[in-house]
């Protein structure tokens, strides 16, 4: 193998694929490596930890075909330090050493035969659904953060992804909050019948990272074994092992009515929560929302407050359009901040029934997104 490519393209490909490299404690040394292989006039850069696989293709001048795996960390660090010019990669087949030349640098990296590298599934257009990059970015941004990182509850580390007819739905929960978004597919599902996939939230985060400046629709397909999902982009493929667990039946916990509804400016509410978090961190991140309905004396308002026994307290008053009765309710301020960060609308509505019942956060003017959040018990000191 002998190829020449641009340093910036190789560095970016190594950075993307490197997200799937296994830690150095991996039982199989080749999983700590990155695969370099010529592929139809381009250079393929791929890595996998057997749960996640990322393949990137970059333009290259291919003088001779071939493939090799080399330690990902060594190659990535070396390439990042090379000047922004052409990089020449040449494989010594007998020794499996990769010669890397760029600028005044001439290095040799010991590799492992590419045949030992695990096979990463390839894209099959026959069973793919198409979704626009902007839609996919929004879906992931508004849902994936609500999944748990607790590996003891594997079914909650994933994002339930439903593909049916012209619609895609993503849902995630950690048991204390739930985020759901629906949107339109670019083209209907090609597979027979609807698909319901439990995709690791971490994998979707990598998909969002890989989207970059993608303009063409992203294809989503399932491997023939139905054990993996593949996201196919113009120059990047992300493959993830599906979670073989049942997602909890979430539909029944979504409130169908409310007794109090407050509409506030999203940015102002977010700022108030961030200010409250300074004090809330000493009281289990608890923040109090005191919502006052409008009366003869004035319009509705919402007070966002937090108190710390040692540091002090903070209260922010926000103008609000309040429907229904007054209420005092507590939330985890970190959960509120993350939910408000996901809202892509100037105004947000918070719908509640009682101080101990789940509340619903909605983006005003966007009925495709909803976020359910469980309240916290408020002590008198909070």
User: Closest Cα partner for 319 from 304, 338, 341, 307?
Assistant: 304
Nearest to 70 by CA among 93, 100, 36: 36
Per-residue confidence (pLDDT) for residue 190, from 0 to 100: 66
* pLDDT tens track, the chain, 382 positions: 999 999 999 999 999 999 999 998 888 999 999 999 999 999 999 999 999 999 999 999 999 999 999 999 999 999 999 999 999 999 999 999 999 999 999 999 999 999 999 999 988 777 788 999 999 999 999 999 999 999 999 999 999 999 998 999 999 999 999 999 999 999 877 666 788 999 999 999 999 999 988 899 999 999 888 899 999 999 999 999 999 999 999 998 899 999 999 999 999 999 999 999 999 988 899 999 999 987 766 678 999 999 988 889 999 999 999 999 999 999 999 999 999 999 999 999 999 999 999 999 999 999 999 999 999 987 655 5
3.30.43.10, 3.40.50.970, 3.10.150.10, 3.40.1190.20: CATH of 2-116: 3.10.150.10
Burial class (CB in 10 A: 0-12, 13-18, 19+), 346: exposed
SS3 label, residue 329? strand
Beta strands at 158-164 and 195-200: parallel, antiparallel or unpaired? antiparallel
Alpha-carbon distance 53 to 153, whole Å? 23
Structure token digits, residue 51: 């749960």
Q: Can you say how many angstroms the Cα of residue 353 is from the centroid of all Cα atoms in its chain?
A: 31
Q: Give the bridge partners for 308, in sequence order.
A: 312
* Fold assignment, 128-177+185-247: DNA Polymerase III; Chain A, domain 2 (3.10.150)
Which class in CATH covers the domain with range 254-373? alpha beta
**Measuring CA to CA, how many Å separate 373 from each of 101, 182, 274, 304?**
54, 18, 17, 16
Residues 318-368 pLDDT 10s: 999 999 999 999 999 999 999 999 999 999 999 999 999 999 999 999 999
Encode pLDDT of 261-313 as tens digits.
Answer: 999 999 999 999 999 999 998 889 999 999 998 776 667 899 999 998 888 99
Write down the domain spans for the chain.
2-116, 128-177+185-247, 254-373
The Cβ of residue 83 has, within 10 Å, a number of other Cβ atoms equal to 11
Q: Considering only the C-alpha atoms of the chain, give the largest distance between any 2 of them, rounded to a whole number of Å.
A: 88
Instruction: In whole angstroms, give the CA distance from residue 30 to residue 94.
Output: 18
Q: How far is CA 339 from CA 1, 331, 353, in A?
A: 49, 12, 19
Same fold, 2-116 and 128-177+185-247: yes
The three-state secondary structure class of 358 is: coil
């Amino acid at each position: 193998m002998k190829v020449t490519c641009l340093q910036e393209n190789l560095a970016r490909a190594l950075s993307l694929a490197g997200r799937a490299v296994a830690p150095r404690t991996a039982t199989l040394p080749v999983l700590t490596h990155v695969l370099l292989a010529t592929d139809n006039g381009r250079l393929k850069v791929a890595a996998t930890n057997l749960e996640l696989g990322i393949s990137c293709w970059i333009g290259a001048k291919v003088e001779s075909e071939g493939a090799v795996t080399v330690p990902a960390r060594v190659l990535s660090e070396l390439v990042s330090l090379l000047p922004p010019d052409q990089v020449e990669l040449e494989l010594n087949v007998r020794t499996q050493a990769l010669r890397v030349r760029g600028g005044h640098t001439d290095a040799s990296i010991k590799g492992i035969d590419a045949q030992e590298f695990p096979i990463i599934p390839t894209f099959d257009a026959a069973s793919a659904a198409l979704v626009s990059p902007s839609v996919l970015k929004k879906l992931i941004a508004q849902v994936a953060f609500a999944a748990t990182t607790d590996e003891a509850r594997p079914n909650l580390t994933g994002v339930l992804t439903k593909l049916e007819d012209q619609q895609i739905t993503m849902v995630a929960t950690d048991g204390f909050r739930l985020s759901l978004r629906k949107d339109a597919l670019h083209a209907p599902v090609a597979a027979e019948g609807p698909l319901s996939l439990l995709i690791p939230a971490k994998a979707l985060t990598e998909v969002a990272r890989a989207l970059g400046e993608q303009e063409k629709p992203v294809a989503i397909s399932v491997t023939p074994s139905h054990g993996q999902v593949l996201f196919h982009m113009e120059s990047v493929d992300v493959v993830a092992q599906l979670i073989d667990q049942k997602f909890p039946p979430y539909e029944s916990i979504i409130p169908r009515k409310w007794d109090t509804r407050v509409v506030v400016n999203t940015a102002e509410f977010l700022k108030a929560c961030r200010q409250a978090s300074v004090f809330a961190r000493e009281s289990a991140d608890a923040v109090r929302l005191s919502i006052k309905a409008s009366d003869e004396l004035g319009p509705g308002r919402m007070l966002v407050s937090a108190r710390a026994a040692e540091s002090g307290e903070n209260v922010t008053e926000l103008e609000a359009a309040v429907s229904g009765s007054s209420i005092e309710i507590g939330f985890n301020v970190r959960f509120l901040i993350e939910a408000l960060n996901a809202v892509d609308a100037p105004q947000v509505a918070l719908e509640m029934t009682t101080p101990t019942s789940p509340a619903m956060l909605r983006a005003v003017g966007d009925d495709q997104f909803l976020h359910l959040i469980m309240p916290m018990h408020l002590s008198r000191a909070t």
